[in-house]
Amino acid sequence: DFNQKYPNCTVENPSWVGDGVCHGGDYNSKVCGYDGGDCDDFNQKYPDCIVENPSWVGDGFCHEGDYNTYLCNFDGFDCPLHEGYSDESGKGSFLRNNKILVIVISALLGALLQFCIIWFVCVTYF
């Protein structure tokens, strides 16, 4: 029963929780079991991406706004960085064609940022 499994989950359409589609907002929250587990994959791939329709990220169409951001990997690599980054054939974007490079650079930048924060805290307080 929904109320027993998620007693603090108050969403408009409880039947959407665990229906196989990742819904955003209150559905993708701890009290709703991250949409009954539907958002587990999305949250693992895009932990800081907060959008209304998570299932749109990486669906093959470029969505603008909050979707086309660094935190959402530019709509799951659906959006080109900008028009100048298309390949010679005109198909795909620089990001889509170089996913591994982008992921490695993103990871390195994240590690560098964490190192700088730790270094700053240590130098400041110790």
pLDDT (0 to 100) of residue 112:
85
Weakly modelled stretches of the chain, pLDDT under 50: 83-92
**What's the rounded Cα separation, in Å, for the pair 14 and 44?**
23
| Spatial contact of 72 and 46, defined as CB atoms under 8 Å apart | yes
How do residues 83-114 score in pLDDT, each as one tens digit? 444 333 344 455 555 666 777 777 788 888 88
**Phi and psi based region of residue 94 (left: phi greater than 0; alpha: psi -120 to 50; beta: remaining):** alpha
pLDDT (0 to 100) of residue 99:
67
CA dist 30 → 10, 37, 81 (Å): 12, 10, 32
pLDDT (0 to 100) of residue 90:
40
pLDDT (0 to 100) of residue 89:
39
